[in-house]
Amino acid sequence: MRQLLIALLAFVSPLEAQWSVSAVRYATIKNFPVAALVAGADTTRRLDIAMMVWVLRGSGRTVLVDAGFHHEKFVTQWKPADFVTPGEAVAEAGVKPESVTDIIISHVHWDHADGIDLFPNARVWIQKAEYEHYVGPNGEPLDAPAVTPEVAGVLAAMMRAGKVSLVDGDDREIIPGIRVYIGGKHTWESQYAGVKTKSGTVVIASDNMYLYENLEKRAPIAQTLDIVSNLKAQDRMKTIASKPELIVPGHDALVFVKFPSKGRVATIR
């Protein structure tokens, strides 16, 4: 009987991989113009935006979606409030930086990829077209300023070390229970993640949807290479998530109101 149970568990577990999902806020940028987030928004509107990474735990792995930023040049330029490095922030979720096994990079912008080097044992997952468009063969940044020298350099170094997996295309299960989808052209080939939890599928939109307002008003993000593509991506998220409430935007502080929160951590599922 015991051997039969073990065999059944071995058969079921790959199909039923389930993850926990948390949003971790490592900083706040105050008085940010809403018109830079929501196309067509009132140019006088301002709000405080959350700088987040997302922690996924399951199947013996600890996965981040995005890695935030930490280099002093960005801290000095943007003067974020309540700033700690993403590595320090995830500690509040019980995660040591060295225990992170994987980082899914939604896109190459500094505030999502500058912190990769804080997690020394992680494998990076990024869309192949995104990497090749922005990172030169010697780590030089291509199509600047969309990608910074810091981000391009660390991605190239990790590629040489065999620690980068290039995702070739849409709707790919990169880890059991985690699928990535080509996003809405926030950058050349941005992506977002769908994560299986015991409560259903959570979509981590990252910057393919900055705020809940984008989804509620069906308003494209203000910074996209293709408005039509962005709206299609947002519409598709509604078909992937088990319910609209499980679509998590990239910078909305309301995430920490809508979900149970303690300190810097919001428990999504």
β-strand partners of 262? 265
CA-closest candidate to residue 263, choices 149, 127, 92? 92
Please determine, looking at this structure, whether the domain spanning 18-267 carries the CATH number 1.20.1260.60.
Answer: no
Q: What angle do CA 25, 149, 103 make, to 5 degrees?
A: 40
- Which 3 state secondary structure label does DSSP give 228? helix
* pLDDT tens digits, 230-251: 999 999 999 999 999 999 999 9
How far is it, in rounded angstroms, from Cα 26 to Cα 261? Answer: 14
Task: Say what the pLDDT of residue 17 is.
Answer: 80
Task: Say what the pLDDT of residue 16 is.
Answer: 61
How far is it, in rounded angstroms, from Cα 150 to Cα 139? Answer: 9
Query: What does the domain layout of the chain look like in residue ranges?
Result: 18-267
For β-strands 20-33 and 46-58, DSSP reports them as antiparallel
Please confirm whether the linkage preceding 97 is cis (ω < 30° from 0).
no
Model confidence, pTM: 0.93
Task: Say what the pLDDT of residue 11 is.
Answer: 40
Task: Say what the pLDDT of residue 14 is.
Answer: 46
Backbone angles phi, psi at 124, to 5 degrees: -100, 135
- Which 3 state secondary structure label does DSSP give 235? helix
User: Rg for the chain (alpha carbons), in Å?
Assistant: 18
Average pLDDT, consecutive stretches of 10 residues, N- to C-terminus, the chain (269 residues) = 42 65 98 98 98 97 98 97 98 97 98 98 98 97 96 98 98 98 97 97 98 98 97 98 97 98 97
β-strand partners of 24? 53, 265
From its phi and psi, is residue 93 left (phi > 0), alpha (psi between -120 and 50) or beta?
alpha
